[in-house]
A and B are shown apart, each in its own frame.
Chain A
Amino acid sequence: MKEPLKVGVAGVRGVVGASMTPRVAASFAQAFGVFLGRGAVVVGRDTRPSGVMFERAVVAGLQSVGARPLMVGVAPTPSLLMAVPTAGARGGIAITASHNGAEWNAMKFIDRDGLFLSPARADELLDLYHQRDFPLVAEPDLQPERPMEGVVEKHLTRVLNYVDAAAIRRRRFRVAVDACNGAGAPWIEVFLRDGLGCETVVIHGEPTGIFEREPEPLPAHLTALGRAVVEHRCNIGFAQDPDADRLAIVDECGRPIGEDYTLVFAVAQVLSAHSLGPVVVNLTASRAVDEIARAAGCPCIRTRVGEIHVSAAMVHHGAVVGGEHNGGVIVPAIHPCRDSFTGMALVLERMAATEKRVSEMRAEIPGYHVAKIKIPMALSETVAALRRLRKRYVDRHPILLDGIFLDLGESWVHIRRSMTEPVLRITAEALTPEEAEALVERFRTEIMVGPQPNGNV
C-alpha cells in the first residue's frame, strides 16, 4: 500500500481517505472503549477539517461499547492530556496528526493518569483492536455524549500560576506568534496578552486547520514569522505546531534559533528560578542540556525519542523539567506532557529575569549547532541499516537505546527510525553549523552508499 496506516506506540496515524478512514477510527475507538472499561472518555481534536469527521466516528465507536464521550472540541493536545485526570475520566482520545501535513490525521490514546498510553498498554490496545470482538452494549445502556467546558482555560491557568507572570507583565514584551492555524490559535491572545501582558502580533491565527505554513516548526518554515518579528520590532517570535505541543523560537532579528534550543532555554530557566532536580530529555536533545544540568548539580537522564518515553521517565525519576529536542518542553509541576504554552511562559520569564535579548541568550550556549535530515526508507530497511551501523561502530561504544547514538567527543550523531513515518532520521550536533552538516551528510552517504574510505569519525 502506498500510504500506510501507521499503528504503534504513538497511536494510529494515516493519510485521510487512503489509510485513515472513519471505519478505522470507529474500530479503534471501540477497542479503546473496551480496553478502558465503561466510563467517561475525553475526546478532543486539532483544527484539521477531517477532525470533525473522525470525531463523529470516534463518538459512534465509543458509544457502541458503553463509553461516555466527553466532548472538548478543538483544544491543544496538552489541554486534553490534563483534562483526563481533571474529569476523572478513564482515558482520552486526541484526534491530531500533530506536526504532520494536512493530508494526515491520527488518534492518540490517553491513559487515566493523563499520559499517553505506555508502550505495554498500547500493545494491549492493539491486541484488542486486532481481535475485533468488541462486546457491544444494548440500547438502554448507551451513554449520550456531553460537552466538557473550560479545559483549555484550566490548562493556561496552571501555566500562568507556575511562572512569575507579574515579572513578565512588567516588561510588556512585544511578541509575534505563528499559530499555524492550529489548536493553539483560539487561545494565544488570551494567554500572551491577558495572561502575560504582552503585545501580540499573531500570524496564521485563524483556527481553520488549513495550514498557511508547513506545520512542522522547522527553521525553513518560519520565514513569515521572522518577517513579522522584524516588521513589528518584536522581542521574540514563537511558532506552534497544529496541536500546540511543540514550540520553536525566532530571535529579535527574525532568525530561527532552531527548535532544539527551546528546550535548552526552558531547562535553564526552571533550574535557575524554580526548582533543582533531575532533568530528563531524549537522546537527540542538545548536549547543552547536560552542561546546564551539570552546572546546577542536577542529574540529566536520557530516554528514547517519543513523548511517552520522556514523560514516563520524568514521573519515575521525579524530574523537575525536561522534554524533547523538537521543541517539546515538559514541566511535570504543570503536567508531564509537552506544552508550547509552558515553553512560551518559561522563555519569556527567562528574558525578564536575565534582561537579555533572545540572540544574546542563544549566544550563551556556544558550540552547539544541530543539523538533521530524514531519509525515506521502509521499516524493514531501517532495521537492516541500523544493524549494519551498530556492527560497524561497536568499538565506539554506541548508545543503543534508540537506533544508534555515537558520542564523538565534541560532537555527536544520532540515527534512528521514526515512529510515525517510514523514514530514518539523522541528527548531529557539533561546534559549528558546517561541522554538523558535514557529519549528517557523511552518515547519509554511508547509509545509502556504504562506508567511505576517508570517512573515519
Chain B
Amino acid sequence: MKTLRLSNFGLRGFVGESLTPSVALDYVSAFAAYIERGRVLLGRDPRASSPMLHAAAVAALMSAGCEIEDFGVCPTPILQFYAPRRAAAGAISISGAHHAVGWNTLMLVGPDGGPLDPAVGEQVLDGFHAGAFADCDARFIGMRREVRDYADSYFDTLAQLVDAEAIRAARYRIIADPAGGAGCAFLEPWARRFGVDLITVNGDPTPFPARDPEPRPRTARSIASLMRPLGAAAGFVFSSDMGRVSLVTEKGEPLSEEMTFALIADHILRHRPGPVVTNCCTTRAIDDLAARYGALLIKTPVGQAHVIAALRDEAAILGGEGSGSAALAAFSLGFDGFLVMTLVLESLAQSGATLSERARTLPRYAIVKRSVPCGPGEGYRAIERVRAKIERETSDRWDETDGLRVDDEDGWVHVRASRTEPRVRVISEAHDRGVAEERAERWIHWMEIDS
C-alpha cells in the first residue's frame, strides 16, 4: 500500500490505493469549510488522474458554497501568482509535480499565494479528521467559472521584474523540456514575450509524464545531446507542475539540480544582498554565497511550505531548495520555474557569459543523494541507529531541523525519513565525490535496514 500523506499544506497519495475520490472530497470539504464560501482558484496538470481529482474538488467546493475560478490546466506557480491578485481566499493545485505515474497531490494555497499557513492547515486537518464539513443547501451551491487567457498578465509582471530588454536583445535559443506537464501551453507565450528562440522537447501535454518528472542530471540527458547540435545557450528541464528546474549548459553538460538555486542566489544577492531562505539539506554553495555577499541565511525543514513560510515571516527576499526551485518574494510566494528560467537568461545577458562559464564561478561540491527503501515507520528508527553510531563529540555540529545533519569542514551528511514513502533519504556533500559517496554508504550501513 502506497501511503497517504496528509499535511497542513496538501494531500498526496497513490491513485487507486490511498488517494481516492472520497479522501479528496473530504480533504477539499475541510478546506472549503475554512474558506467559508470565499473565492477559490483551481488548477490542474494533464496527468490521467487529475481530471478525476479535479471533479471531486469542484463538487466539494460547490457544496460548501465556494466561488470557483477554474484555471484549467495551469502550472502551480501561475496559480500561486494569481491567488493574491484575484483576491482569492485560497487555491488548490492538483498536480503529480515531480512524482512518478500513480502519484498525485492536492496542494492547498493560502490567500497570499504561499502554501497554507501551518496553523490554518492544522485547522483544515482537524476538520478532515472530525468530518466537520459545511455543505450548503440547494440555494447556496457555489458556482464554477472558467478563467482563460490569464498567461499574458502573468508574463507582463514577470517582464517588469527583470531586464527584459537585455534578454530580448541577446536573442537566445534555448531548449525546454516540460515533461508533457502543466507548463506545455505556456512556454510558447513566454518565449514570445522574451524574444527567445524556443525549442521544446516533450512539449505536448500527456496523461502520463513523458519522462521521469523529477529534474535531475539523469533526466536531462534527453536534451543534453541536443545542446551543441542545435546551438542552444541553455537547457531547462522542468517538473510536471513547473515548480522545479534543472539546467543544461550550452556544451551539453547537465548541471546538478543543486546548481539551479545556487545560480539564482548568486544572481540576486550580488545586486541585492537581502535575507535568503533554504532548507537544511541544500548544497553548501548557498552558505558560501550568502557569506560572499554578506546576506543572512535562514534554514528550514525540507519542503516548499517551510521555505516559503520563512520567506514570508522573516521578510526575506529569496527562497529556494536544492531540488531546483526558487521564489522571489517581490514576485510570488511560489517556487516558479518560469521565474528561474527568466532569471537565468537575465544573468547570462547581463554578464555576457555562457551558462557553463557562469556555473564555473559558483562554489561547487560533489553531492550524492541516496534513497533507501525501508519498512513502514522504520525510517525514524533507522535514523535513531545512525544517531547512536555517530561520535558524541560531534554533537555540537548536529542540526536536527529536519532529520539529522552533521557538518565538518569538508562537507556534511544529512538523513531524513521521507514523508510520502517508506524510504530514508540520505544526502552527502563533499569537495571530493569519493568522500561524499563513502560517507553516504557508511550512514546507510549504520541504518541497518534489511532489504
B26 CB, nearest partner CB in chain A, Å:
7
B135 at the interface (CB under 8 A from A): yes
Chain B, Cβ-Cβ closest to A49: B141
Q: Which of A61-104 contact B (CB under 8 A)?
A: 61, 63-64, 102-104
Cβ–Cβ contact A23 & B29, under 8 A:
yes
* 1/0 contact string of A351-381 vs chain B (CB within 8 Å): 0000000000000000000000000000000
Cβ–Cβ contact B144 & A104, under 8 A:
no
Chain B residues whose C-beta falls within 8 Å of the C-beta of A16 in the assembled complex: 135-138, 141
A390 CB, nearest partner CB in chain B, Å:
38
Question: Which of the 9-residue segments A5-13, A24-32, A242-250, A315-323 touches chain B?
Answer: A24-32
- Number of A-B pairs whose CB atoms are under 8 Å? 124
Number of interface residues of B (CB under 8 A): 39
A96 CB, nearest partner CB in chain B, Å:
13
Chain B residues whose C-beta falls within 8 Å of the C-beta of A26 in the assembled complex: 21-22, 25, 56, 59
Question: Which of the 9-residue segments B45-53, B281-289, B309-317 touches chain A?
Answer: B45-53
B264 at the interface (CB under 8 A from A): no
Q: Contacts A137-B16, A138-B102, A139-B101 given: A60-B137 contact, CB under 8 Å?
A: no
Q: Contacts A17-B135, A22-B59 given: A139-B17 contact, CB under 8 Å?
A: no
Of listed A18, A23, A52, residue having the most chain B CB within 10 A: A23
Q: Contacts A22-B60, A26-B21, A140-B48 given: A15-B55 contact, CB under 8 Å?
A: no
The listed residue (B16, B59, B137) touching A18 by CB distance below 8 A is B137
A53 at the interface (CB under 8 A from B): yes
Interface range, A side: 35 or more
Chain B residues whose C-beta falls within 8 Å of the C-beta of A25 in the assembled complex: 59
Main SS of chain A's interface residues? helix
Chain A residues whose C-beta falls within 8 Å of the C-beta of B138 in the assembled complex: 15-17, 48-50, 102-105
* 1/0 contact string of B17-38 vs chain A (CB within 8 Å): 1001110111001000000000
**What is the interface of chain A, defined by CB distance below 8 A to chain B?**
15-18, 21-23, 25-27, 30, 48-50, 52-54, 56-57, 59-61, 63-64, 102-105, 136-142, 144-145
Sample of 15 further A-B pairs with CB below 8 A, known A26-B21, A53-B63, A138-B15: A15-B137, A16-B138, A17-B63, A21-B133, A52-B144, A54-B59, A56-B58, A57-B55, A59-B51, A60-B52, A60-B53, A63-B55, A64-B20, A139-B47, A140-B101
What 6 pairs across the A-B complex have the smallest Cβ distances?
A22-B59, A57-B59, A53-B62, A60-B21, A17-B135, A60-B56
**What is the interface of chain B, defined by CB distance below 8 A to chain A?**
15-17, 20-22, 24-26, 29, 47-49, 51-53, 55-56, 58-60, 62-63, 101-102, 104, 133, 135-144, 207-208
Q: 21 A-B Cβ contacts within 8 A?
A: A16-B136, A17-B137, A17-B141, A22-B25, A25-B59, A27-B22, A49-B138, A56-B56, A56-B62, A57-B21, A57-B55, A60-B56, A64-B20, A64-B21, A102-B138, A102-B139, A103-B137, A105-B138, A136-B15, A139-B48, A140-B101
